[in-house]
Amino acid sequence: MRTLIYTAFVSVDGVVQAPGPEADYPNGGWTFQGIDFLEEVYELKAREQEEASALMLGRVSYQAFAPVWPKMTTEFPKYNAMPKYVVSTTLQDEDLVDNWGDTTILRTFADVAALKETDGGPISIHGSASLARGLADAGLLDRYHLLVFPWVLGEGKRMWSETAKDRQKLALVESETYTNGVQKLCYDVVR
């Protein structure tokens, strides 16, 4: 069974929207502004790229990343080469870029659950806040890799849904606090 890992830059108040600059979001770029850059903070991101066997995205993140990431050959060589899965009810095969490797469109969470049952390594989910909330609510996420930045942003897309559901226990498997105030928190979902 494959492990589904959601990885995110998140503010203390749970916002995951626009960690990089985004014209339509007033707080866009919050991971790069007002916080000292420390290379060790991003060690988790480098390790994820080495450990992942596939990349999963929602439609919005796919359409944002697909024109950019294939050109970032030094930053994302392994992600660019690995298979990609896009969870979308509206994206069509003709909407996929042809220079970003094998990409499969999954239509439902049942398709995601079936993919998890196949052989292979971890599947990493980047961006894709709506997808991650839905997968969490459906009980399909297995792990969270979070870099928590010392910001309270107020408005913005949140990491967690407000759906009524049973409590979900998480087990802390790795953590570190950096001198710039960022915290690395890695949790396994307890089933």
Q: What integer pLDDT is reported at residue 94 of this predicted model?
A: 94
Domain ranges of the chain: 4-189
Q: Is the pLDDT of residue 23 over 90?
A: no
Contact (Cβ atoms closer than 8 angstroms) between residue 129 and residue 157: yes
Q: What integer pLDDT is reported at residue 49 of this predicted model?
A: 92
CA atoms within 13 A on the CB side of 92: 1
The strand pairing partners of 9, in sequence order, are: 147
Segment 97-149, tens digit of pLDDT: 989 989 999 999 999 999 999 999 999 999 999 999 999 999 999 999 999 99
Range in 42-51, 126-135, 146-155, 159-168 with the lowest mean pLDDT: 159-168
Tell me: domain 4-189, CATH 3.40.430.10, correct?
Answer: yes
- CA dist 7 and 13 (Å) reads 16
Q: Is the pLDDT of residue 24 over 90?
A: no
Tokens of 22: 């985004």
Which ranges constitute the DSSP H helices of the chain?
43-51, 59-65, 77-81, 109-116, 129-137
User: Is residue 165 very low, low, confident or very high in pLDDT (cuts 50, 70, 90)?
Assistant: confident
Segment 63-93, tens digit of pLDDT: 999 999 989 888 888 998 999 999 999 999 9
